[in-house]
Each structure stands twice: as structure tokens, then as C-alpha cells.
Amino acid sequence: MTALAGTATITADGATYMLVGDLSYDPSTVAREELTGQDGTHGYKEKPKFGQIKATLRDTGSLTIADLNAMSNVTVVLDLANGKTVLGRNMFTVDPQSVATEEGTVEVTWKGAVSETPA
């Protein structure tokens, strides 16, 4: 048996961050929405969308929230327990980041082009 989940690492522009959890990624490039009318289903509309990587990081002494907030055009790399590598290119942070001081955590969301490389 091999590990399929449970551990992961994250780097942004080569800097490694302490990953608490809640790591997720979305490599989708389109968003679709159904179109319906009073007479039934008509089809769907499609729009391009950014890929996304979300993580909860530990607020270490060397980490500054200003640095996270200023991230633009960065490369984010995830190495997953199942052997898969996820690559985020030209990523930028969205949503203001804030620290939960009881656990020393900060939630970060990057958007950009996301791709997967199978094990």
C-alpha cells in the first residue's frame, strides 16, 4: 500500500512555508452555468476562470503578512503524498490575509494558472 493523502509541502517562489492544513487546489480553466427558461433547459454559458490554490499556513517569526499580500507573479509548488506535483504559475494572492493568533495560522488563496503532474 502507498500513501494517497495526509502529507504535503508548499513553496512559493522557492520559499518553503509551514503548512497547517486545509490545502486545496483547483486547476479548472472554465466555469459553466446552466441556462434555463420557462419552457425548459436551453444550454449553458461558459466563462474562463483562474485556477486556485488555498492553504492554511503557520505564522512563523520570519513570515510577514505584508509579504503574502504583496505576492504577484509567483510560482507555487505543491508536492502531495500521492506523488502528484501541482504547479501554480503567475499566481497572485487574493482576499486580505489575517492571522488567527490562538493557533498562529493564516489562510492564503492564490489565483493563476494551475496544472497537475501525475505521479
- Per residue in 74-83, pLDDT tens? 999 999 999 9
Residue 36 lies in a domain: no
The answer to whether residue 33 sits within a structural domain is: no
Is position 44 within any domain? no
pLDDT on residue 119:
86
Does residue 80 belong to any structural domain of this protein?
yes
pLDDT score for 47: 97
The DSSP result for 28-61, as a single string, is --EEEEEEEETTEEEEEEEEE--EEEEEEEE--T
Structural domain includes residue 37: no
Q: What are the residues whose beta carbons fall under 8 Å from the beta carbon of 90, sequence distance 6 or more?
A: 73, 75, 112, 113
pLDDT 10s digits, 5-41:
889 999 999 999 999 989 999 999 999 999 999 999 9
pLDDT 10s digits, 51-72: 999 999 999 988 899 999 999 9
Query: Which structural domain range is residue 106 located in?
Result: 8-26+49-117
Amino acid at 83: G
112 in a structural domain: yes
In a domain, 2, yes or no: no
Domains in the chain: how many in total?
1
Q: Is residue 89 part of a domain?
A: yes
